[in-house]
């Protein structure tokens, strides 16, 4: 397995009135043709990590890294113009909230066609046909109607499925999914995860799956990075997440209510200041096997 993506010593800083705030501190990880989960609470830096890969950190935010390499090519050396060719085409991203990601004054079909035609030479008719197929693939019941609808006519769950369709239509190599199923119902969530799973496998894509939901991540991913206060505190195989050792991971797992094991009071996470200063664990896989 060769690594699609390698990130070395990534740090993201934001200047504030009270000095420099380090949202992500010196983390390294790699992504093969696998499903990599990043979990943590809000503010742990997981979304910023996802955005850094696409160099989507706006000024005054500062992105520093030794290397962010996509198939051996260093993305940090690319110009903004070259980056635009990579975003969407090679690496695409599904953001947290479809309400803010979709253009409210443009028909859904036009937005999906635009995403497709930006990177592929295709006629309008071809793009339309492909878009409708893509909408079907994400289990939208009435793709023709949705194609001509505006985003406000969609529910949150539909909106997110449209986003996934739009992001997968240019056939990227890496998909960064930032809380893609948080807005969906459990039954639909499973369907959408299955679609993503199928696509990742069929196309040999790499997937970075950012989520706060430990159950979803452990069921769906191959490998997990657990982030706290901008650092990777633990990394493990996803199916072994429930055997995780770090007190933070344990705390998160224990604070979940469970249907089969009722308790009177839920365990509350006790934070330790040492977690913030401890060095990051490396999430890099050796690219040899």
Partner 1 sequence: MTSNDNSGIRINNLDVWFGDHEERVDAVIDAEFSVPLGGSFGLVGESGSGKSTILRAITGLAPTWSGEIFVLGKELGKTRDKEFFSTVQMVFQDPYASLHPRQTVDHVLSEALYLHGFDQPDNRIVKILDDVGLSQIFRFRYPHQLSGGQRQRVAIARALIIEPSILLLDEPTSALDVSVQAEILNLLTDLRAERNLTYLMVSHDLAVVGHMCSKIAVMNLGRIVEVLDVKDMRKMKAENAYTKQLLEASIQRRREA
* Near partner 1 by CB under 8 A: residue from 74, 142, 185, 272: 185
Beta carbon nearer to partner 1, 124 or 242? 242
Residue 190 in contact with partner 1, rule: CB under 8 A? yes
Provide the mask over 136-165, with x wherever binding to partner 1 is found by CB under 8 A and - wherever it is not. Answer: -------------------xxx--------
Q: Element (H or E) spanning 78, and its range?
A: none
| CB environment 202-234: b (16+ within 10 A), e (fewer) | eeebbbbbbbbbbebbbebbbbbbbbbbbbbbb
Rounded Cα distance, 266 and 247, in Å = 16
Residue 273 in contact with partner 1, rule: CB under 8 A? no
* Near partner 1 by CB under 8 A: residue from 20, 105, 125, 268: 268
Residue recorded with tokens 């997110």: 160
Phi, psi of 75, rounded to the nearest 5 degrees: -70, -25
Residue 20 in contact with partner 1, rule: CB under 8 A? no
Whether 151 and 98 have beta carbons less than 8 Å apart is answered as: yes
Which segment (13-21, 66-74, 87-95, 211-219) binds partner 1 by CB under 8 A? 211-219
Q: Which of residues 229-248 bind partner 1 (CB under 8 A)?
A: 239, 241-242
Which segment (87-95, 111-119, 134-142, 250-258) binds partner 1 by CB under 8 A? 250-258
Whether 167 and 159 have beta carbons less than 8 Å apart is answered as: no
Q: Which of residues 66-85 bind partner 1 (CB under 8 A)?
A: none
What does DSSP say about strands 5-16 and 62-64: parallel, antiparallel, or unpaired?
Answer: antiparallel
Beta carbon nearer to partner 1, 136 or 243? 243
Whether 213 and 182 have beta carbons less than 8 Å apart is answered as: yes
List contacts with partner 1 (CB under 8 A).
Answer: 41-42, 155-157, 184-190, 212-216, 218-219, 239, 241-242, 251-252, 255-260, 262-269
């Amino acid at each position: 397995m060769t690594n699609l993506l390698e990130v070395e010593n990534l740090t993201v800083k934001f200047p504030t009135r009270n000095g420099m705030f380090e949202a992500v501190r010196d983390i390294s990880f790699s992504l093969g043709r696998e499903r990599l989960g990043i979990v943590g609470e809000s503010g742990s830096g997981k979304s910023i990590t996802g955005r850094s890969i696409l160099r989507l950190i706006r000024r005054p935010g500062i992105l520093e890294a030794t290397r962010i390499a996509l198939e051996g090519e260093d993305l940090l050396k690319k110009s903004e113009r070259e980056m635009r060719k990579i975003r969407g085409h090679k690496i695409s991203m599904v953001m947290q909230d479809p309400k803010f990601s979709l253009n409210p004054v443009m028909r859904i079909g036009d937005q999906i066609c635009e995403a497709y035609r930006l990177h592929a030479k295709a006629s309008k008719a071809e793009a339309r046909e492909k878009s409708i197929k893509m909408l079907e693939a994400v289990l939208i019941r009435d793709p023709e109607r949705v194609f001509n609808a505006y985003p406000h006519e969609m529910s949150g769950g539909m909106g997110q499925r449209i986003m996934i369709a739009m992001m997968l239509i240019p056939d990227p190599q890496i998909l960064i999914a930032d809380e893609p199923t948080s807005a969906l119902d459990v039954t639909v969530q499973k369907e959408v995860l299955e679609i993503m799973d199928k696509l990742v496998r069929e196309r040999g894509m790499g997937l970075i799956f950012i989520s706060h939901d430990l159950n979803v991540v452990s069921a769906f991913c191959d490998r997990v990075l657990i982030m706290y206060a901008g650092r990777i505190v633990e990394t493990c195989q996803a199916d072994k997440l429930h055997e995780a050792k770090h007190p933070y991971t344990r705390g998160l797992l224990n604070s979940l209510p469970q249907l089969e094991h009722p308790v009177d009071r839920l365990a509350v996470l006790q934070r330790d200041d040492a977690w913030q200063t401890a060095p990051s664990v490396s999430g890099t896989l050796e690219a040899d096997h």
